Amino acid sequence: MTEERQDRESRPSPEALLKQASQEAQGRGRLKIFLGAAPGVGKTYEMLSQARQRRLDGVDAVIGVVETHGRIETDLLTKGFETVPKKRILYKGQVLAEMDLDAILQRRPRVVLVDELAHTNAPGSRHPKRYMDVEELLAAGLDVYSTLNVQHIESLNDVVAKITHVHVRETVPDSILDRADEVELVDLTPEDLIKRLMEGKVYMPAQAEQAIRNYFVPGNLTALRELALRQTAQRVDEQMVDFMRAHAIAGPWEASERVLVCVNEHPCSTSLIRYARRLADRLHASWGAIHIETTRSHRLSERERNRIAEALRLAQQLGAQAVTIPAADAADGIVEYAQTNNYTHIVIARSDRSRWSELVRGSVTHRLIRRAGGISVHVIAPEQVSQTGETAAPVAARARLTAAPQARDYVESLIVVLIALVVGVLLQQILGIGSIALVFLTAVLVIAIAHGLRPALMASVASALAYNFFFLPPLYTFTIADPENVVTLFFFTLTAVVTSNLTARVRAQALVARGRAKMTEDLYQFSRKLAGVVTLDDLLWATVYQIAAMLKVRVVLLLPEGETIAVRAGYPPEDSLDDADLAAAKWVWQTGREAGRASDTLPGVKRLFLPMRTARGSVGVVGLDSDRSGPLLNPDQRRLYDALADQAALAIERIDLAQDVDRARIAAETEKLRSAMLTSVSHDLRTPLASILGSATSLKTYRSTLDEAEQTQLIDTIQEEAERLNRFISSLLDMTRLEAGAIQPKSELIDLGDVVGSALRRAGTLLAGHKVKIELQPELPMVALDPVLFEQVLFNLLDNAAKYAPLGTTISLTAEQTNQSIAIRVMDEGDGIPEADLERIFDKFYRARAGDRQRAGTGLGLAICRGFVEAMGGTISAANRQDRKGAVFTIRLPMPAHSQTVREQAA
Amino acid sequence: MTSSGSLPAKILIVDDEPPIRRFLRTSLAAQGYDIVEAASAQDALGQLGRNRVDVLVLDLGLPDMDGLEVLKHIRESGSNVPVIVLTSRTNEPEKVKALDLGADDYVTKPFGIDELLARLRAALRHRLQQQGERPIFKSGDLAVDLVRRTVTVRGEDVKLTPREYDLLRLLVAHAGKVLTHKFILREVWGAETDVQYLRIYIRTLRQKIEPTPEAPQYILTEQGVGYRLKSVD
């Protein structure tokens, strides 16, 4: 065990490596913080001096914002620096100047100086706090120099307040200090500082005196200085440990301690968290915060629930891992979580409830201590947190989540008691009065189950009174004669009250369970719905509807579209966002963090924007808003939202992936076709060329050895193959023209017989080996078409027929008038066309799929036929002959509006 | 050119394109060859079984079977009839494949009739050489005496290392015919080594026997396929 532990610790710890990697990689800028104990120690001066040195080394350093407070030496130092002009923000008629984040990002210096890290930005700025601006600068890869006083560090906030009696509202989360690459302490002894103050080097003389009296007393300064020194020393220590862990140096660090702080709705939770953070720091321990959700949680007021959420958020900001866990008993839940997650310390607030209340309801603290086993439990006295002005919410103000009992419940309860009374009266004839008490108890139990605690308590009292009045002598008075009966009545009442309590608690738990079951069921239904959805639009619609319905908010969903993102769905339907909302949504998309209403970034925006993420990255952004004031989602709702959004994000990703796969398959097919086409074209061009070149060289070199007939044969070959090559090139050009949309057919009234004749003449040599039969219906009307294109169509069809029908068979060409069209058919007596290929046969290079193992032919002829015929407003189709083996191609041309027969026109 | 016997050499032309068959028939018959034709693979295999064929001119793009398959059939049936492949495919791997499958040479469409006739002569000569190797090879100023193992250029002795001589002897034995890299490596080095070796030896050989090694006259490079020793006709 010991060896194992040793082994584990001498290996580089993954967390340490990750931490290092995340700092080194990603092109993140480096943050250097100049930390001081109090104003006036010279942080800004030191920052400027160092930046100046960097500038002299040729580093591009500019001032983002520097407050010199009129201090002359500091002012002098800023000379020679480029200063990015501040942005003016109009707020309530006042013009406020703030650091111009966008201008700096655009300027992209290597180092930017940002004074006073804890500064709060004017409303309307992108981020409410300056340290958030700095985070963005760092994320953009800029190095930042900044200054900070120790009193602004979140976890030291209340300690400083206690020392100085001044509560500082502007705080910076410890996490930013943790993430800083360098923290430099700017130290000055209290005496020197006070001296500088006296000399007017810190504040203007008028302010100075007041400041000295209130704040800059030696005692305060010494305490603050110690805090600052400790903070820095601790950091150095941490860095050393990080370094040693990353390099797997077996070091003197203690076995890993872990601190767990328990958070509840009590206002002292925040100071408890700060305490835990300090404890964790001292122990060099990681730490976490836990809130246990019991049946009690559902009875908390909105305000209390917000307080819990607030406390957990603070813990997260301070670097803790915050969780909420449901459990029947808080103490059990905490201990179980602590044990499974190897926590070694538990921090909990001492209950400030009365001793009586603790006796009756038990104390979580006591139970925790009893069950904690090897875990140390720190019980902290709840401080009077007067500085926050908050007091514990009065019990009466508690809004009950479970439906509060209404008048009807009480009336019904009374009726039940009445029924019990009647039953009691009837039973009294047979049994003794001892049994009658049981009848009333049963009634109380029934009421507790049906209506909850309060009606049951009321029923207990009513039952006790009725029992006394009707059954205990003297009858029909509330007085009791027999002392024994007094005892009976007392125990009856006690039993009734206890049973009511127990039963009501079971009922409350059942209600909570039912609520959870409903939620789980809804989520399950949603995931089933998503699994069945095929199109992206359906999916998005289902998602926004589900979120809107379950959380009672308005929802918009944005997905990436090219460089930016755009609204793709909304419930109620929404097409576009205003510029501010869109900007916030974009920011969320780019950074993957939340922004907008009641968040840290762009809080002025109407909606709250949340990223939708999967393990592979962001898939979209969801915007929420509602007419309710206050936080949009309580922690429960937030968890529900997260569950919904996660499912939806996965489904969106699934559909995206499916589309990617489709695209890849189509691309592969296109690629295959392209290569087949190349082979085919090269074959079709080279075959005639081979004949021509071969014949020509033969004639040139061996003319003398060739007789007359042989010479003629070679010359014929040259001519025919040159013609074939010409046809092929024409086809290629026709196809190119078709694809470029450059075909503009003329529309002339033509006699079909004329075109058929010219096409046959052109195809003469090709058809030499076949019989040709022409059947044109007499008195065909004139047809509106382009004669040149149509001749080409007929030629291609005849060429095709000649190619595929055996020599000596008949090729027929017919034309007839049907209802509103003219049908022209070309039929051959070849093998016909495979059923499956009837439609694809018109695809460009369809036959190219066979590569060059085909008879020479362009593979374009039929594609050109279709292109031309459709350009002339007709259709072309392929089929197999019904009467015998062979293929038939049918062209249908629409009848011109005022068609005339040839004869009519001639007349 | 005809064989030394009284019968003219018989050439089987296998191509599905009638114009090609027609001009080949006309041109080759005029050169005194005896011509047989086939329009499909089946037809060709049938003709081979029935006739004595001296050279086969085979188009790779046939309607019923790939030309390479036909070649494989012929070689697997034990026939070593010289085969000249006609191909419109320009990709070199295909040519190498054909040669590896036992083709003697290839001609890429379109081609001049001289080129085909030269290949035909080389194929026929090679056939004769196999029956009785000529002891002395002469091409221009280059002379190789296979018995005495001497090489002379313009009458002067050239000193070759044993491996260079083996390489040249192989080229001489197949003069006029393209030899793939793979084939040369196997024959000379005994194992399939890096083509790089071959390139280096070819370079030193050229420097010893070629008048201008940069523009070789004897050892010709068939880019992407192999080498060919130019033969005298």
What is the per-residue pLDDT across B37-72, written as a single tens digit (0 to 9) for each?
998 889 998 888 888 899 999 988 887 888 899 999
A311-320, A386-395, A478-487, A829-838: range with lowest mean pLDDT: A386-395
Q: Report the DSSP pairing between strands B10-14 and A887-894.
A: unpaired
The pLDDT value given to residue A383: 60
From chain A residues 704-723, the ones with a CB under 8 A of any chain B CB are 705-707, 710, 713-714, 717, 720-721
Structure tokens at A761: 């003449």
Q: A686 and B16: CB-CB below 8 Å?
A: no
With 90 as the cut, is the pLDDT of residue A739 above it? no
Rounded Cα–Cα distance for residues A515 and A521 (Å): 10
The pLDDT value given to residue B83: 93
Q: Do the beta carbons of residue A892 and residue A874 sit within 8 Å?
A: yes
The 3-state secondary structure of A389-422 reads: CCCCCCHHHCCCCCCCCCHHHHHHHHHHHHHHHH
Q: Report the DSSP pairing between strands B226-229 and B178-180.
A: antiparallel
What is the amino acid identity at position A734? Answer: D
Give chain A positions within 8 Å (CB) of B20: 687, 690-691, 694
**High-pLDDT (> 90) share of chain A, %:** 6
Q: What is the average pLDDT across A415-429? A: 86
Of A688, A693, A713, which has the smallest distance from its Cβ to B22's Cβ?
A713
Q: B113 and A697: CB-CB below 8 Å?
A: yes
With 90 as the cut, is the pLDDT of residue A145 above it? yes
The pLDDT value given to residue A251: 39
Rounded Cα–Cα distance for residues B224 and B233 (Å): 26
Of A698, A851, A852, which has the smallest distance from its Cβ to B113's Cβ?
A698
| Angle made by CA atoms A158, A159, A165, in degrees to the nearest 5 | 75
| Angle made by CA atoms B55, B59, B65, in degrees to the nearest 5 | 110
The pLDDT value given to residue B85: 92
Q: A697 and B112: CB-CB below 8 Å?
A: yes
Q: Does A857 touch chain B if contact means CB atoms closer than 8 Å? A: no
The pLDDT value given to residue A468: 83
Q: A698 and B30: CB-CB below 8 Å?
A: yes
Of A697, A706, A717, which has the smallest distance from its Cβ to B19's Cβ?
A717
Identify the residue among B26, B40, B69 best suited for mutation to test binding to A, counting A beta carbons within 10 A and taking the highest. Answer: B26
Residues A235-248 have pLDDT tens digits of: 766 666 565 555 55
The pLDDT value given to residue B233: 58
Nearest-neighbour CA in chain A from B135: distance (Å) = 33
Residues A348-372 have pLDDT tens digits of: 887 766 666 666 667 788 888 888 8
Rounded Cα–Cα distance for residues A114 and A64 (Å): 5
Q: A687 and B17: CB-CB below 8 Å?
A: yes
**Which band of pLDDT confidence, cut at 50, 70 and 90, is reported for residue A17?**
low
| Angle made by CA atoms A729, A734, A735, in degrees to the nearest 5 | 95
With 50 as the cut, is the pLDDT of residue A399 above it? no
Q: A682 and B90: CB-CB below 8 Å?
A: yes
Of A683, A695, A852, which has the smallest distance from its Cβ to B23's Cβ?
A695
Give chain A positions within 8 Å (CB) of B112: 693-694, 697
Q: A690 and B111: CB-CB below 8 Å?
A: yes
- Average pLDDT over chain A reads 79
Of A679, A689, A710, which has the smallest distance from its Cβ to B26's Cβ?
A710
Residue scoring higher pLDDT (A649 or A601): A649
Find all residues with CB under 8 Å of A344, minimum gap 6, and list them: A257, A258, A259, A285, A374, A375, A376
With 70 as the cut, is the pLDDT of residue A296 above it? yes
**Which value does ipTM take for this structure?**
0.71
Beta-carbon count within 10 A of A145 CB = 28
The pLDDT value given to residue A352: 67
Nearest-by-CA chain B residue for A695: B23
The 3-state secondary structure of A238-279 reads: HHHHHHHHHCCCCCCCCCCCEEEEECCCCCCHHHHHHHHHHH
b/e burial code for range B173-194 (CB count within 10 A of at least 16 → b): bbbbbbbbbebbbeebbeeeee
Residue scoring higher pLDDT (A211 or A163): A163
Q: Does A49 touch chain B if contact means CB atoms closer than 8 Å? A: no
Nearest-neighbour CA in chain A from B68: distance (Å) = 12
Of B16, B60, B110, which has the smallest distance from its Cβ to A855's Cβ?
B16
- The helix (H) or strand (E) run that includes residue B191 is none
pTM over 0.80: no
* Residue A569 burial by Cβ neighbours in a 10 Å radius (0-12, 13-18, 19+): buried
Nearest-by-CA chain A residue for B113: A694
The pLDDT value given to residue A393: 36
The pLDDT value given to residue B92: 76
Give the end-to-end CA distance of chain A in Å, rounded to a whole number: 115
Rounded Cα–Cα distance for residues A206 and A215 (Å): 15
Q: A702 and B26: CB-CB below 8 Å?
A: no
Q: Do the beta carbons of residue A706 and residue A696 sit within 8 Å?
A: no
- Cα B134 to the chain's mean position, in Å? 17
Q: Report the DSSP pairing between strands A875-880 and A783-785.
A: unpaired
Residues A98-141 have pLDDT tens digits of: 888 888 988 889 999 999 898 888 887 888 889 989 988 988 88
Task: Look up tokens 């024994």; give the residue.
Answer: A484
Q: What is the average pLDDT across A330-334? A: 86
Q: What is the average pLDDT across A442-469? A: 85
Give chain B positions within 8 Å (CB) of A693: 110-112
Length of chain A: 907
- The helix (H) or strand (E) run that includes residue A739 is helix A708-740
Nearest-by-CA chain A residue for B60: A853
Name the 3-class secondary structure at A617.
strand
Structure tokens at A319: 């670097």
Q: What is the average pLDDT across A544-569? A: 87
Residues A611-637 have pLDDT tens digits of: 888 777 788 899 998 887 777 787 777
Q: Tell me which long-range contacts A703-708 makes (C-beta under 8 A, separation of at least 24).
A: A705/B30, A705/B31, A706/B26, A706/B30, A707/B30
Q: A694 and B112: CB-CB below 8 Å?
A: yes
For A632-660, the DSSP string reads S--HHHHHHHHHHHHHHHHHHHHHHHHHH
Nearest-by-CA chain B residue for A720: B19
With 90 as the cut, is the pLDDT of residue A575 above it? no
Rounded Cα–Cα distance for residues A813 and A767 (Å): 13
Nearest-neighbour CA in chain B from A721: distance (Å) = 7
Q: Radius of gyration (Cα) for chain A, nearest Å?
A: 45
Structure tokens at B17: 């394109």
Rounded Cα–Cα distance for residues A172 and A162 (Å): 18
The pLDDT value given to residue A386: 35
Q: Tell me which long-range contacts A68-76 makes (C-beta under 8 A, separation of at least 24).
A: A68/A44, A69/A202, A69/A203, A70/A204, A71/A44, A71/A45, A71/A201, A71/A202, A73/A45, A73/A201, A74/A44, A74/A45, A74/A48
Identify the residue among B13, B25, B27 best suited for mutation to test binding to A, counting A beta carbons within 10 A and taking the highest. Answer: B27
Q: Does A679 touch chain B if contact means CB atoms closer than 8 Å? A: yes
Q: What is the average pLDDT across A641-669? A: 83
- Report chain B residues touching chain A, CB-CB < 8 A: 16-17, 19-20, 22-24, 26-27, 29-31, 60-63, 66, 86, 88-90, 109-114, 116
Q: A682 and B89: CB-CB below 8 Å?
A: yes
Q: Radius of gyration (Cα) for chain B, nearest Å?
A: 18
Give strand pairing partners of A368. none
Size of interface A-B (CB pairs under 8 A): 94
Give chain A positions within 8 Å (CB) of B63: 853-855
**Which band of pLDDT confidence, cut at 50, 70 and 90, is reported for residue A341?**
confident
What is the amino acid identity at position A36? Answer: G
Nearest-neighbour CA in chain A from B229: distance (Å) = 24
The pLDDT value given to residue A402: 43
